[in-house]
Structure 1
Amino acid sequence: MKVVFSPVFKLHKPPYSHPEAPDRLDAVLKGAEEAGAAVQAPRAREDVWNLVSLAHERGYIEFVRRLCKEDYAQIDGDTYVSSGTCEAAALAVSAMADAVDAGETVLLAVRPPGHHAGFVGRALTAPTQGFCIFNTAAIGALYKGEGVAVVDIDVHHGNGTQEILYDKDLLYISTHQHPATLYPGTGYPDEVGTSKGEGFNVNIPLPPLTGDDAYAEAVEEVIEPILRQYDPKIIIVSLGWDAHRDDPLANMGLTINGYLRAISTILKLQKPTIFLLEGGYNRDVLRRGTAALIRLVDKGEEAAGEAPSKTDAKVYERFRRELGEVKRHVSKHWRL
């Protein structure tokens, strides 16, 4: 499995102590090295700003580019811009477009993250942009067009991706900690899309402390049948490692086993799959998760190096109620 990385992605630097910092990529690269992956630098595309405009309004793009002329600037209380942000974000979009063109299974070890960025930055009802600048996943989906599926397994709902794709017949599936308990507060099951996008937006909110066993049920009962019916030409995975039980910014109960269960299901479709780094703030989990992902892709190994987690009985009851609500809305559009 090829890993795409450039030191340019580390030029997006926080002005103060921040969980989304350049050393996240150091952890990812250590994991890639442990798994024996080849690391390749991306190229900067001349059409990159036209690509960014597929998902974002010109005024927002120019706003960000003006901020990049300063040493540091704040978009909001969570989201910063440094003098290297635009170069890093543009190269991430270039890497995504080239990965789509190549039709390969690849890991994009890029920054800044993007799935909270909507048309004009802050998306839907979110109070901030959640560390995100340009929505690389949505840009990749719109660039490819027909037959793209975006599967978002970050712990936070990808409100920006939902906003951008909501009226498109491009499949978006998100698993995330329940929006009543975590930023950005969106991603309920009844948010199914509109116009020709109706039914193509699938939200699977999970109660806090959901473990690997319950997560596997969500994958098996909802994600897998929908993906098989949609039969995507290419899959973009918004890969956030922050649903892991050791992540400092959320309250889920997954281990790497839960991630491998979902990723294995996606890989069984035998479609080109682009894994795009989003969140994940425990550096050790980033390292171990990356290594496990690459070994799964290259060798079919599903060893996570930690025991699977089990969901507490009361949490499991809430999970089954939530999953029932998901099915009630989704079954109007897909066979489950």
Structure 2
Amino acid sequence: MRSRLRPPGDPAGCDVLITGGAGFIGANLADRLAAAGHRVVVFDALVRPGVEANLDWLEKRHPARVTAVIGDVRDADRVADCVAGADVVFHFAAQVAVTTSLVSPREDFAVNLGGTVTLLEALRKRRVPLIFASTNKVYGNLPDLALTATNDAYVPTDPELRRWGIGEKRPLDFHTPYGCSKGGADQYVLDYARSFGVPTSVLRMSCIYGPRQMGTEDQGWVAHFLISAIEGRPISIYGDGRQVRDILHVSDAVTAYLAAWTRIESIAGQAFNLGGGPDNAVSLRQVLAHVETLVGRPVDLRFSDWRAGDQRYYVSDTRRAALILGLPAPTPWRQGVADLAAWLAAARGTGAIPCLGDRDVPLMGAAE
């Protein structure tokens, strides 16, 4: 039997399974892996708007290296069939919206927690490595953080927090059904390393953005801001727009996932916060100001009440991930947002990005 722990870059190529592989991050990861010579199975239910375009793009770019399997992560037999040939699994398949979890908590639970355990059980029989896409929502809404509101952003009063951000030692505190399902899955993934020896690792992501992101009402707010501004549509913000997140370009996120794979034997059972860090910590208002510069006109903003579970301030302390995973400095956020704007403009010209129509574009301040 071939080693299950061969790292990316092996000239012979590896067999990689990406659940949710037609999604934004999954598609970027699949493209990087296929370009490096690996064989990639994209496992996706294709329920998220726009992901069919990502899958079509992947299959056209890598016809000999990308295979699509249309399926649900809750389907144990289908999952087991895909895991049987994999050298490594990257797990992105999920219900991704806080709002949807509040409407359909049972469905959210079944996909995010039930689906993850289904996948883990298939992996347990063969101890295939798993890298799991978790979320900063595992830390809750952080009500104890003392913050000062400036004109356009919330700023921590604690100078250490302001300098470094929130580290992995922060206690877990699940809020909303989405936070509970993703947080529970996060903990199951880590425990399968402890209890069963499955080489797993967890990346708790802040806000990832970049090409191939089809921002929707509840997730992917950087792209949604840009799409709305390009089309001249109004943008609704829940809260006051001073919410701060550390945004990370998808190319940097992909690098982190590959770095976790190469080090999976030494990091098994560990979680890492993954985001842009303090240098890329920006408020919604600050991003919108940059968007206005990029599109050359002001945007029409409309404000609504805060939503459940929102974090007024979340910035990842990236020191541990950078040190242990060997990550380079992330893309500066203004440069990265300009890159996404250029891609969106080009993609709309080819029809790859659907127009939003004559409707409002509500965005959760809590969006990742």
Which category of TM-score, normalised to the shorter sequence, fits these structures?
Answer: 0.3 to 0.5
Q: Looking at CA atoms only, which structure, 1 or 2, has the larger radius of gyration?
A: 2
| Structure with the larger strand share | 2
Q: TM-score, normalised by structure 1?
A: 0.34
